[in-house]
Amino acid sequence: MTSHHLLKAFFVTVLLATAAAQAATETSAAKLVKSTADHSKFPALAGPFDSGPAVTKACLTCHTEASKQIHQTQHWKWEYKNPQTGQLLGKKHIVNNFCTSVKSNEGGCSSCHIGYGWKDVQTEFNEEENVDCLVCHDSTGKFKKPSGFAGNPVVKDTEFPPGSGKIIHGINLAEIAQKVGPTKRTTCGACHFNGGGGDGVKHGDLDSSLEAPDKALDVHMAVEGNNFSCATCHQTDGHLVPGSRYAPTAKDKAPAHLRGKADTSNPATCQSCHGQTPHPVARLNEHTAKIACQTCHIPAFARGGQPTKMWWDWSTAGKMDANGKPFSVRNEDGYDTYAS
């Protein structure tokens, strides 16, 4: 065999070995499971489950402190105390101009509460089993809490409203519980995208377009970009979700939060990643003394193709048609502009 043939055979051998090694690596990576637990193998989650609290009771056999943590959060309490005035705010205490008041509407509002069984103002929330684990940790997209059921999922086919002929199909709680995972855009969005009664209605910057946005819509959440989840910035600590409440945080009062640093700064601000001087020009950095980052970098809302409601005229509520029945008016795009 000539030296030319020997050299050619050598390179072929190297290429084959490299390809084999790469294939082995890719196969190993494909088999690698990110989570250290396979919930489908847990006997406690085998089911069947006839209610949400039954699922939570099973979850608590391993996650023993989870409900205690949840009970201390604003997500659970729907309550916020203004640190300057001491005034109690939050859904539990205020009348919202989009959603009106929780009081007397608990059965419907509680479809977006992380608990089960909030029927009325007298309901006591002191049972650990009343915490809804699945609403945040469902990875199947099948978990639903229809309005009118006091925050409870429907586990068997049910006619609702009674006598309407409309059927709400029951869901398999065991199947969902066995496939739980970290929160993601769709789980947060199940409530936050639909505030005010519909997709994008209440929050013009939060709607279903953020489930799979492009970079033009959201550079952080872009599927082909950073692919952030909500929790990437709103990093929880003991189930406490950081972020602005009623008084949006334009600038950190203290030096910017550094990830991994133990302090009370808010990690859900622009500065926690981008620092105090994100621009190459000093004059631009001076803007942040008075101007929020969002003023320039999010100059418009409802940009994902989903419209948002700009205002409610409650003075016209309660009108009936000529037959004394509730009615609605829709615009040319098919959206309600009035509904009794």
Q: What is the pLDDT of residues 58-75, one digit of tens each?
A: 999 999 999 999 999 988
Query: Is 268 part of any domain?
Result: no
Q: Could you tell me what percentage of the chain is helix, strand and coil, using 3-state DSSP and rounding each to the nearest 5? A: 30, 5, 60
Residue 291 lies in a domain: no
Number of domains in the chain: 1
The reply to whether 70 falls in a domain is yes
How far apart CA 245 and CA 79 sit, in angstroms, is: 10
H-assigned helices in 193-279? 230-233, 271-274
Q: Would you say residue 291 has pLDDT above 50?
A: yes
pLDDT at 255: 62
In a domain, 240, yes or no: no
Does residue 194 sit within a domain? no
Pair of tokens at residue 94:
């205020």
Higher-confidence position of 119 and 195 = 195
Q: Say what the pTM is.
A: 0.80
pLDDT at 12: 45
Residues 259-280: tens digit of each pLDDT? 566 665 667 888 888 888 899 9
Q: How far is CA 119 from the centre of its chain?
A: 23
At 217, list the tokens: 């819509």
Identify whether 95 is part of a domain: yes
Domain-embedded: residue 153: yes
Instruction: Give Cβ neighbours of residue 36 (< 8 Å, ≥ 6 apart).
Output: none
Closest CA to 148 of 156, 160, 140: 160
pLDDT tens per residue across span 105-119 = 887 788 888 999 887
Nearest alpha-carbon partner for 44 in 63, 59, 31, 22 = 59
| Structural domain that includes position 161 | 38-181
Please indicate, yes or no, if residue 284 is contained in any of the structural domains. no
